[in-house]
Structure 1
């Protein structure tokens, strides 16, 4: 078994970023993905460099704060105030696919200008599985930039979307474990995943939201104190020992 433990939302606040970097240093977080439209993104990049982290994913978003491009350029996916809609189900079904593609590409290019290496793409709130057209946009960007992407299809029962990812031929993990109904990752769930897959050749991703909570975070996200629970779990030394003793290989997306 090869295991990716990915921390979403790098850059949402510097405190979240600091917690993620601690989890990568002292725990078993192997990768992270950045919200590049956050005001704390660039200061978080400085923290990453200081920690010796030179690569990560881009956490593409059309559901957090404002677009990287001018709102007038992406009018079909922003509200009258120029903000992204807060949830995928609020994005108008009449969205302009070229506007989405342009905004997501702008987010990627914003990330690349920092000099960090992009090693995968994933999506905030799993918006890629809104419909087949949206998934095709994200798949196309992963192909264009030649990076792996997350298996967001694990969060849907729509077989067409699952088939669409498989048919793309892109680099993906074999399984993604992420429970959108749970505010934090549960230790018993992680142990059951490890027990299920430890003697296989599968690549499995466990996604979570570790980090430190503060008042700034509480104004931005419904997940706050739960992030500290995730961080504590991903730094649990008993679990870390379990992983090592069973020769489970911890990898980042760069090893796919």
Structure 2
């Protein structure tokens, strides 16, 4: 059996992203999303989530490129202006040099989880902005945080090394994917030992921010047996979003791909069952868990 979680990241970052995620859920194949507790459009995302209870909602833990949630001293996580570091590169540089306090990380992430849980939304899983939950040394911290909220499902962004996407791969992206997969596999053993469950397969790094219809169809065609997750980033009005978040993402094209008739037909033709993290455990009346690899 092929089961698929299509998770849209960055719920709560901007209203144009929130609206695209919900549209891609209602009219397309998105089954899951992950909310940013520190996002400027967090409250807007919460209102939309309440209107669409079949959309699974996890927490997109965030330590870069946004505003902190915690009150109190978390100065090692912040710039002089009191915001998170703008890029994961800056965060990692400070982290590996020992200038990031794990106590500060734990307090900030506890506050993010609390803000999400305080809305009454059932948290289905955990993932993170720029996949920082896969960094060596953070699994234990995040595991403790998750236990406080009875969350035991997590994304492991270990895209297969041999998966190159469709077309000629970007070398820098390939190198980043290889490093991320290596870190994810190391973190996976720790999360597994701590009792976390996770999909067997992950896709979305090689074409992150560029999940056009051709790429999505390519993944669906070769989707392996078991439980897979595809990470996507839909949004409305790419030009407007690019002014705020100059990441080179193709938000509008991703939304159109996720809603396309061809993609929905491919899912049906390939006999893929769409699920979300919350659905796992009771599919077709049988007890099926996210697989610990």
Query: TM-score, length-normalised on structure 1?
Result: 0.89
Unaligned stretches of 5+ in structure 1? Answer: none
Question: 1:167, 1:69 → 2: CA distance?
Answer: 26
Aligned equivalent of 2:252: 228
Structure 2 counterpart SS, 1:24? helix
Aligned equivalent of 1:255: 279
Q: CA deviation at 1:107?
A: 0.3
> Could you list the per-position Cα deviations for residues 133-187 of structure 1 after superposition, in whole angstroms to 9, with x for gaps in the alignment?
1233234434443331111344443646413313432111111112256531133
- Paired residues, number: 252
Among 133, 137, 140, the alignment partner of 1:133 is 137
Query: TM-score, length-normalised on structure 2?
Result: 0.78
Q: CA deviation at 1:65?
A: 2.1
Relative distance call for 1:4 and 1:181 in structure 2 (3 A) is closer
Query: Does residue 1:100 correspond to 2:105, yes or no?
Result: yes
Q: CA deviation at 1:204?
A: 0.8
**Structure with more of its chain in helix, by fraction:** 1
Query: Does residue 1:166 correspond to 2:167, yes or no?
Result: no
Relative distance call for 1:125 and 1:112 in structure 2 (3 A) is same
Relative distance call for 1:167 and 1:107 in structure 2 (3 A) is closer
Question: 2:74, 2:40 → 1: CA distance?
Answer: 19
Question: 1:159, 1:215 → 2: CA distance?
Answer: 34
Greater displacement, 38-47 / 135-144:
135-144
Question: Any conservation in 1 of the 2:77–2:105 contact (CA below 8 Å)?
Answer: yes
Aligned equivalent of 2:43: 42
Q: CA deviation at 1:211?
A: 1.7
1:191-206 aligned within 5 A: 191-197=217-223, 200=225, 202-206=226-230
Question: 2:53, 2:81 → 1: CA distance?
Answer: 38
> Could you list the per-position Cα deviations for residues 192-247 of structure 1 after superposition, in whole angstroms to 9, with x for gaps in the alignment?
3222235x2x1111101102137763453124771111100000111101111322
Aligned equivalent of 1:208: 232
1:59-138 aligned within 5 A: 59-70=60-71, 72-91=72-91, 92-93=94-95, 94-129=99-134, 131-138=135-142
Aligned equivalent of 2:6: 5
Question: 1:116, 1:194 → 2: CA distance?
Answer: 30
Unaligned stretches of 5+ in structure 2? Answer: 160-176, 281-293
The Cα RMSD (Å) is 2.3
Question: 1:89, 1:118 → 2: CA distance?
Answer: 28
Question: Any conservation in 2 of the 1:3–1:251 contact (CA below 8 Å)?
Answer: yes
